[in-house]
Structure 1
């Protein structure tokens, strides 16, 4: 057995019948919902409960991450948008027109993350403009996390439905 056969046996390109795809999808959405604007959500909860220095640390961390996100969006936003649009288009086209399951799987992971990115930029702009503090800041982060979790649930549901359809139509072994 050669090297490439071994690799493709371990990393099965039949994504929807592969456990690694579902683990990666779960990790993607778990991470996306835990880090709101790059800030671990448990820090926001601790800051709300304990206040004081923890709240000041949270406010500083959110301010730094918002400035960083807005700087990236301002400096590289056009190029990132063009690249993301091209990548999503290629994945969608090769996945759903040419029926490549690996592209379909990547598309179902990447496409919803565009909406998460847009929500993050929108919230970062709002925080930079309004400069919320304390409980109001925590409530904004909580609402953002809810929207990310909602997008994640819809994404996982869509991937599961499409994956089941693919496995029923094509079969689990690609035959």
Structure 2
């Protein structure tokens, strides 16, 4: 009986991806232009930041300015950015996603993952949940995954910028820091 319970719990609990773990290619619809986008489309990037986000989750909204700033700072340094929405609740539809991007004004892919295939493959659990993927030539691997920084609610009180530190480490050939558990809205599986 105990073995069955342990096996059942292990299938429910999503363990985070390990640093260095290979990430399989994926393809999702970009709601901003209705085009398909694949991870392999970014083969010329030094790295790709994938952020699972939401149109309405308060934590995702708190991070909008910081995400905009990170994109502005690092996109010119060879880092690409992808936003993914895997939420299925009201106000998370593809049309709502497109409206959100029009309001936000970012020029990055906002991908719809309503079947949650990429979310499950990366073991994403919250929004926002950031993944920094390193380009290894023939594939991407996880360099960092977790929180963007240490203060989701007050940008001016941030003391540790986990994502930025790890992007800098990737660009300078330094090792990644350890993963930090993301804080945000749970993505309902379904």
Question: TM class, shorter-chain normalised?
Answer: under 0.3
Which one has a larger percent strand, Structure 1 or Structure 2? Answer: 2
Which of these two proteins has the greater Rg computed from alpha carbons? 1
